[in-house]
Amino acid sequence: ERSIVVESATMARAQVERWAQDHPTCPKTGRYLEVPLSYLAPRVLGVIATAGALWYMTPMVMWTKKPDTLDPAFIEEAKRVGNVAQRMNAPPVFLNPFSSRLSGGVLGPEDMAKDEE
C-alpha cells in the first residue's frame, strides 16, 4: 500500500517530465549539472551587470544629501544649547534620553533631583 505523499511525488515528477519533453531547450528541474554553460553564463552575467548598474546609479537616483546634524554650525549650536531644553511653561527636559541612558520615567533634571532625594 502506497501513501498519498509518494503518489503525489510520483505524479509531480511525471508532470515535470512531460513538460520537459514539450520544452526541450529548457534544462530539467533538479539536474543542474546538465545545464550548458551557453545557457547559464549570459543569465548570470546579466544579473551581475544589472546589480552593478543599480549599485552605480544609486547615488544619482537616491537622495544623497549630507544630514544637517553633521553641519559644523549645527554641532556648535548643539554644544551651546547643551543636554537640557528649557521650556516656557513647563519644567526642562533632556534632549537625548536614549544616548544618556535615562529610564522612561525621567523627563528632565527635576526628575533626577527627585530620584536622588
Calculate the alpha carbon distances from 8 to 4, 16, 101, 106 in Å. 6, 12, 58, 63
pLDDT of 45 higher than 70: yes
Extract the C-alpha cell encoding 117.
532625594
pTM of the shown model = 0.36
Identify the residue with better confidence: 105 or 39. Answer: 39
Quote the DSSP letter at residue 94.
E
What's the pLDDT score for residue 1?
54
Q: Is the pLDDT of residue 29 over 80?
A: no
Q: What mean pLDDT is predicted for residues 93-117?
A: 70
Question: CA 57: distance to chain centroid?
Answer: 18
Residue 74 amino acid letter: F
At residue 110, the pLDDT reads 74
Q: How far is CA 81 from CA 11, 54, 74, 77, 112, in A?
A: 74, 42, 10, 6, 19
Which residues pair with residue 85 across a beta bridge?
A: 93
